Amino acid sequence: MSKLSPPNVSRRHADLSSALQNAALPEVLKRVYAGRGITDPGELALGLDQLLPPTSLKGVADAAELLADAIEGEARVLIVGDFDADGATSCAMAVSVLQQMGLREVAYLVPNRFEFGYGLTPEIVEMAAAQMPDLIVTVDNGISSVEGVSAAQAMGISVLITDHHLPGDSLPTADVIVNPNQPGCQFPSKSLAGVGVMFYVLSAVRAALRERGWFNAESMEEPNLADSLDLVALGTVADVVPLDRNNRILVAAGLARIRSGRARPGIEALFEVAGRDHRQATASDLGFIVGPRLNAAGRLDDMSIGIECLLAESSASARGFAEKLHQLNRERRDIEQSMQQDALAQLESIDLEGDASLFAMTLYDPAWHQGVIGILASRIRERVHRPTLVFADAEEGMLKGSGRSIPGLHLRDVLDQVATRHPGLLTKFGGHAMAAGLSLARDDLNRFKQALNDAVAEALGYTPPERTEESDGALARSDFGLPLAEQLASGGPWGQHFPEPLFDGQFFVRSHRIVGEKHLKLTLDADGTEIEGIAFNIDVPKWLAAPLDAFHALYRLDVNEYRGERRAQLVIQSFWPC
């Protein structure tokens, strides 16, 4: 693969509203918030009293009545989850809260991704039927399970779908569907994760039971749904949904519980095995530390390990599950590293700079692990700045693919266009703007590769995508200190569509050394101010062969705590010669 040029740096610019200008905030934070569309400082208030009410969430009232009836009628309820962190947190919350509400018979079932694939399929319904449920509740899936819902209802099993993924052309004939993205739903936030949808459903169930006098009649204490916000925060961040204000409220409240020592034992155990202090938890920790360990179960083994970790009622029982998840995550990293080397070898013959006709990347290797292709797609997408689809072998001559997109390209819509123009090419597909999954016959891979490239080219107006990084501008020499670093850290939660502040500027290198075999530790000169910096996972041989005396960098101003001392530090995302 040809050498990629340095990214184009686009500095965010937005005029400050008068209200934001007059707010008691550091000037840098005002600039950062304006660049993320904040005009009213009131939008930064993240109290739970600011949450959107559930009234406009289509189907939520009917779902509450259905589940309240199930609780009063002592029905058997089976939660059917998904095999990622969003699905696991949704499932654990549904099981635990419904039990607290008095549901005696509630169990869960998570499809094994290697045997059954995604969603409420007819095969999963057949498995579920062995438990003789009266009601199946899907969490983080189901909106595309037309055949599975029909199979369940044919067996006399009611179905409640709770999901957040985009629907297809036809909806399942479920008893009730709760999904902010279904047609006719007026809920203002379309960005709820699956766990957020279930949080709203359970809130409505509690209200319905309260109105019926259930808790008083049973001499039962109402469950405090705030106790589940650690799960909501974890699932929301790990699923990389946009952090609009409503999601930021949920995540902020969940992080506050985790930091204050009120998280469930399983989440604290996952922090512990990762060597992180939950009292300093950030949204980034949920996305890059806890989430991957939970996801490792679904990628390599069985997500029930992760769900049991989240349901554990004691630190001792949670620790065993957390250690197993930690080990699975190590195995996942080893597999991913090997696959990434294979993928880079495939890319060696591709001239990204010179081939103006290459709009999308499609990669396949028969040795690749089906559970890790999504991560690989993300890594390659970051490297080549093209929508990337990665495939692995599935059963009977089929391939399963996972894709990651770039800003400005809606991946699921592109796949829908491919399916429309090439009937029968995709056996199934689904997802959202930035990530999607699909299945096709191995023999159709080359045809799909061309069809995808054509569809992406059309969507991008036949203009090859450029590597562009958005920066919040430069920092003044007086900004390179702990006060601003701490204010930035607490100014979030940061995440998808509300990105962590990223700055750019030029630095002189005073000293450098390699730490941890692949990380570059630096002492930098920022316009006469000395500050420490670190760049993770660099090309060590390349740096050692030609170290730079100065460079232009994209970086975050972070807080580094070591042996009880807190200091400002630059976390360098990328750098290149001045």
Give the CATH number of the domain where residue 403 resides.
Answer: 3.10.310.30
- Residue count of the chain, please give it: 578
Asked if the model's pLDDT at residue 2 lies above 50, the reply is: no
Asked if the model's pLDDT at residue 83 lies above 80, the reply is: yes
Phi, psi of 328 (to 5 degrees): -60, -35
Categorize the per-residue pLDDT at 349 as very low, low, confident or very high, splitting at 50, 70 and 90.
Answer: confident
> Minimum mean pLDDT among 1-5, 200-204, 265-269, 414-418: which range?
1-5
Among 468, 495, 521, which residue terminates a domain? 468
pLDDT > 90: what percent of the chain? Answer: 86
Note the pLDDT of residue 252: 98
Asked if the model's pLDDT at residue 191 lies above 90, the reply is: yes
Note the pLDDT of residue 7: 76
Both tokens of 29, joined, read 């934070």
User: Does residue 45 lie within any of the structural domains?
Assistant: no
Among 327, 342, 377, which residue terminates a domain? 327
Note the pLDDT of residue 521: 96
Note the pLDDT of residue 117: 66
What is the spatial distance between Cα 312 and Cα 524, in angstroms, rounded to a whole number?
A: 46
User: Does residue 457 lie within any of the structural domains?
Assistant: yes
Considering just the CA atoms, what is the radius of gyration of the chain in Å? 24
Do residues 91 and 162 make contact, with C-beta atoms less than 8 angstroms apart?
A: no
Note the pLDDT of residue 100: 97
User: Does residue 333 lie within any of the structural domains?
Assistant: no
User: Same structural domain for residues 442 and 508?
Assistant: no
User: Same structural domain for residues 267 and 195?
Assistant: yes
User: Same structural domain for residues 298 and 446?
Assistant: no
Note the pLDDT of residue 5: 61
User: Same structural domain for residues 183 and 306?
Assistant: yes
- Please tell me which residue, 236 or 496, carries the higher pLDDT value: 236
What is the spatial distance between Cα 385 and Cα 407, in angstroms, rounded to a whole number?
A: 10
User: Same structural domain for residues 228 and 120?
Assistant: yes
User: Same structural domain for residues 572 and 484?
Assistant: yes
User: Does residue 40 lie within any of the structural domains?
Assistant: no
Note the pLDDT of residue 29: 96
Given CA atoms 335, 337, 340, 342 in this order, what sign does their dihedral have?
negative
> Span 527-533, mean pLDDT?
93
Do residues 236 and 251 make contact, with C-beta atoms less than 8 angstroms apart?
A: yes
Do residues 242 and 496 make contact, with C-beta atoms less than 8 angstroms apart?
A: yes
Note the pLDDT of residue 353: 66
Categorize the per-residue pLDDT at 354 as very low, low, confident or very high, splitting at 50, 70 and 90.
Answer: low
**For 477-489, how does the pLDDT look when each residue is reduced to its tens digit (9 = 90+)?**
999 999 999 999 9
Widest pairwise Cα distance in the chain: 76
> Span 292-296, mean pLDDT?
95
Among 448, 468, 488, which residue terminates a domain? 468
> Span 261-270, mean pLDDT?
98
Asked if the model's pLDDT at residue 86 lies above 70, the reply is: yes
> Span 185-202, mean pLDDT?
97
Q: What is the CATH number of the domain that holds 266?
A: 3.90.1640.30
Phi, psi of 239 (to 5 degrees): -85, 0
The three-class DSSP label of residue 61 is helix
Note the pLDDT of residue 3: 45
> Span 370-390, mean pLDDT?
94
User: pTM for this structure?
Assistant: 0.91
Do residues 438 and 428 make contact, with C-beta atoms less than 8 angstroms apart?
A: yes
Asked if the model's pLDDT at residue 111 lies above 90, the reply is: no
Number of domains in the chain: 3
User: Does residue 244 lie within any of the structural domains?
Assistant: yes
- Please tell me which residue, 351 or 30, carries the higher pLDDT value: 30
In sequence order, the 6+-apart residues with CB closer than 8 A to the CB of 429 are: 412, 415, 416, 419, 436, 437, 438, 439
User: Same structural domain for residues 78 and 207?
Assistant: yes
User: Does residue 267 lie within any of the structural domains?
Assistant: yes
> Span 271-288, mean pLDDT?
95
Asked if the model's pLDDT at residue 369 lies above 50, the reply is: yes
Residue 516 burial by CB count (10 A; 0-12/13-18/19+): exposed, middle or buried? exposed
User: Does residue 201 lie within any of the structural domains?
Assistant: yes
Categorize the per-residue pLDDT at 435 as very low, low, confident or very high, splitting at 50, 70 and 90.
Answer: confident
> Span 499-507, mean pLDDT?
96
User: Same structural domain for residues 87 and 200?
Assistant: yes
**Amino acid found at 491:** G
Alpha helices in 348-444 (DSSP H): 373-384, 411-421
Q: What is the CATH number of the domain that holds 489?
A: 2.40.50.460
Note the pLDDT of residue 1: 37
**For 224-241, how does the pLDDT look when each residue is reduced to its tens digit (9 = 90+)?**
999 999 999 999 999 989
Note the pLDDT of residue 302: 87
User: Same structural domain for residues 375 and 508?
Assistant: no
Note the pLDDT of residue 432: 80
User: Same structural domain for residues 459 and 487?
Assistant: no
In sequence order, the 6+-apart residues with CB closer than 8 A to the CB of 253 are: 46, 48, 226, 229, 232, 233
Range of the domain at 443: 350-468
What is the spatial distance between Cα 234 and Cα 251, in angstroms, rounded to a whole number?
A: 8
Phi, psi of 91 (to 5 degrees): -65, -50
What is the spatial distance between Cα 352 and Cα 349, in angstroms, rounded to a whole number?
A: 9
User: Same structural domain for residues 144 and 192?
Assistant: yes
pLDDT > 70: what percent of the chain? Answer: 98
User: Does residue 491 lie within any of the structural domains?
Assistant: yes
Report angle CA 262, 267, 273 to the nearest 5 degrees: 125
Note the pLDDT of residue 183: 96
User: Same structural domain for residues 257 and 310?
Assistant: yes
